[in-house]
Each structure stands twice: as structure tokens, then as C-alpha cells.
Amino acid sequence: MKHSVVELFAGVGGFRLGLEQSGLETIWANQWEPATKIQPAAECYITHFPDQKNNPYFNTDISEVTAQLETNPKVIPNHSLLVGGFPCQDYSVATTKAKGMLGKKGVLWWEIEKIVRIKNPPYILLENVDRLLASPAKQRGRDMAILLGCLRDLNYSVEWRVINASEYGFAQKRRRVFIFASRNDTKHSKGLKKEGLSHNWLQKNGFFPAEFPVKQEPVDHDKPDDFNYTVQEISDKFSFRFQNAGVMSEGKIYTIKVAPIQASFKPLREVLLKEVESKYFVTETDILKSRGWQYMKGSKKEQRTAKNGHVYQYAEGAIPFPDKLDSPSRTILTNEGSQNPNRSTHLIEDPFAKKYRTLTPVEVERLNGFPDNWTDTGMAESKRYFCMGNALVVGVIERLGNRLKQVMKT
């Protein structure tokens, strides 16, 4: 059987690019930016993947697609793998007599849940910030548990792993949780059932270790926890310490902390252009002025006054200034392009010009493993950085794609 992929929350196509590099074909995708009228990510995607006949792409709110799905399941074609990176939001539910279980409006998890319920693909690969494992702060782990509870009820087994791209040879410290679900009638899920939820699965035989190896360290327990609460019970009172690796199957959860077998890392220096336009260089005044770059990135302990007049002590530690060229970069965020002094935008000492500057869009694309000028498709430069702040490390997806091909073959 030919494997086909449906890509949700597609952005500029990080999943698609990585999966294509591993030989998997995307047959349908969806992307819509709710915050703005303009749709630069969608335009970028269509520029690179223009074949609308064979690989249709929808630039509409996903909830408009799922609204049609109940009556017309064909609005999304059948597929073997559903992928998507989606936000960490409040997944809690309320049950009403008339409508049953209801998630909060606008929470995108419920759109994914509906697609899985109606289309029932054999495999799913999702991406999220690793904060998902611990949120919300007041009921630690509830949201991840709701996600697991929903997939359990839809007859899937799930394995997750936090992957820091820099630990596997990429030039950016981008840490994301990847969530892989396999329908319980697949060979992969049957293999898990046979082996049982154990450290062996998470360190050796499961989905992630083949491409993202971890140390075969002893663990202090090998006994899964019960996970047979309803989603409503989870939402109301369940709390759990999810570690960076774990597996859920048929009413049990097993989670442990795993340590990567560190590949030699790629330093930020390796993505730098030799010559860049003068607009990326920052002046000495911008560095030294009050609330300039040096101040923003430095440690501080000071008294501040809130808008309501409340006076409080503010403290934060220093972050590298300038950013180190011989380490992988910090995580690229959506405001990376800001030329106004701030903490998170990278500021490097250009090794050729020997002056301080910010990173160019191409360098940021390289940190995510996209081809040079991938986002140079007519959007404003600030949007190019924004799209890269949202995107993923393509090489990580390519390796997950290689593993998916093995798993889906069986």
C-alpha cells in the first residue's frame, strides 16, 4: 500500500518537506493564520507545493473543514498518517446533558480529535512544545493526559518523546515533544502489547529509539501506572508527572526520563553567511543605551512599578551576550527578527566583520534545516522570522519519516 500523509497546521511545510525527504507523500494539507488577514505561510506553502490537483491544500480555518466532516468524510481524503504541530492550549472539558463532552471553543486539539474519530488513520504524528507535558501549572500533566485519554478511547496506543534537535546533530537547541500514535490493530501496537510497557520499549524497541537513540540506563521502576479514568475525570482532577519519554496503551501509562546518546553537535557558526547587508548590524549606541541590547540580555535585580502603581522586585539572570558561535543556537522564537533590543533575538559577533549583528532570515532558515530563501515568497521579512519561529527542524522530521516508513511497512 502506498503511504499517504495529511498535514494539519502546515505553516510553511516543515512536516511535508521532512517527510518528502524520507520518501513519504503528502496528499492534503491545511493552514490558516487566524491572527491576520494576510496568509503568508499559506502563500509560501503553495509556492513550494503548487500541485493543487493531486495534492490539494486548504487555506481555511480547520474548524470549517471539520464542520463538514460529519456529513462528508471525504472532505479529507483517507490517509495512512496524520501529522501536525499545534499549540499548547487549555484542553479541559465540561460535560453537558444535551451535547455530551465539550472542549473549549477554539482549542485546536478538538479539531484533531474529530479528524481522528472520523478518519481513523492507522498512524498519527503530532508535535508540540514540551511544556504540554506539565501544563497547566495548577494541575500538572492534565492536558497531556486528556490527549492520551482521547486517543485511548479512539483505540490508539501512544508513545511520546521530547527531542532536542541539538542533541542529535542539528544546529539549534529546539526542544519539542513528539507524540506518535498507532491504531491498536497495527503491527506496531501489537508489538507493544506483546512486549509490554517497559523501559526496553522506551530505550530500545519502541518508535523513537531507532532514529533518536538513548542511553541504556537502568531505571528504578518498570511498573506502569493505571490510566483508566474517563476524559471528564482526567479533566476534573487528574494530575501526573510525565517524563521526557513515555507510552500509553489500553489503560496503562509508563513514563521514564531518558538521556540522549549525544551526536556531535553542529555549531551556530556553520550556518552563518560570509557577507550580510548592513541593516543587520547594530550600533554601539543600541548596545549600550539604557534598555539597549546589553541591558536586555544582562542579569538584573531592580524595583519596577506595575501599571496599577504596585511596586515589585524584578530579577532575571543573564543570557549569553553575544550568542556563542561554537554552540548550537538557542530556540528560534517568532519575534526573532525584532531589531529592537530584547532578550530572545540572537545577537552575534560577526566573525568576518567583527561587529555585532542579528541573524538574517536565511541563517534562521538554515537553523531549521529549510533550503535557503524558503520563505522569500513575497512576505515581509518580519513574517519570515515569524514563520521560522513556528516551524520545526526539518532534519528531525526526515529521521522520524525514515522510522515511520519502517513501522508502516510492517
Ligand X SMILES: C[S@@+](CC[C@H](N)C(=O)[O-])C[C@H]1O[C@@H](n2cnc3c(N)ncnc32)[C@H](O)[C@@H]1O
200-201-205-207 Cα dihedral, nearest 10 degrees:
-150
6 binds ligand X (CB under 6 A): no
Least separation in angstroms between CB 389 and ligand X: 9
Least separation in angstroms between CB 92 and ligand X: 19
Burial of 318 (0-12, 13-18, 19+ CB in 10 A): exposed
Closest alpha carbon to 66 in 26, 105, 96: 105
34 binds ligand X (CB under 6 A): yes
33 binds ligand X (CB under 6 A): yes
**Which range touches ligand X (CB under 6 A), out of 163-171, 229-237, 283-291, 389-397?**
389-397
**Which range touches ligand X (CB under 6 A), out of 33-41, 97-105, 198-206, 277-285?**
33-41
Site string for ligand X, 70-89 (x = CB under 6 A): ---------------x----
Which ranges of 109-240 would DSSP assign to H, the alpha helix? 109-119, 142-153, 187-195, 199-200, 231-237
Chain position whose Cβ is nearest to ligand X: 11
Estimate the share of the chain in helix, then strand, then coil, as percent rounded to the nearest 5. 35, 20, 45
Least separation in angstroms between CB 70 and ligand X: 18
395 binds ligand X (CB under 6 A): no
Residue number, 258 or 391, with CB nearest to ligand X: 391
When binding is defined by CB under 6 A, the residue of 392, 396, 404, 408 that contacts ligand X is 392
Give 58's contacts (C-beta < 8 A, 6+ positions apart). 28, 29, 30, 31, 65
Least separation in angstroms between CB 226 and ligand X: 33
Residues facing 127 on adjacent strands: 85, 178
25 binds ligand X (CB under 6 A): no
* 30 CA to centre of own chain: 16
Query: In this structure, are residues 297 and 321 in contact, taking their beta carbons and an 8 Å threshold?
Result: yes
* Dist CA 34 CA 106 (whole Å): 10
Residue number, 47 or 294, with CB nearest to ligand X: 47
Least separation in angstroms between CB 42 and ligand X: 8
Is 88 catalytic? The answer is yes
Terminal Cα-to-Cα distance of the chain (whole angstroms) = 11
Eight-state DSSP code of residue 270: G
347 binds ligand X (CB under 6 A): no
By CB under 6 A, the count of residues binding ligand X is: 21
Query: In this structure, are residues 171 and 271 in contact, taking their beta carbons and an 8 Å threshold?
Result: yes
105 binds ligand X (CB under 6 A): no
Among all residues, which ones are annotated catalytic? 88
Query: Footprint of ligand X on this chain (CB under 6 A)?
Result: 9-15, 30-34, 41, 61-63, 85, 108, 390-392
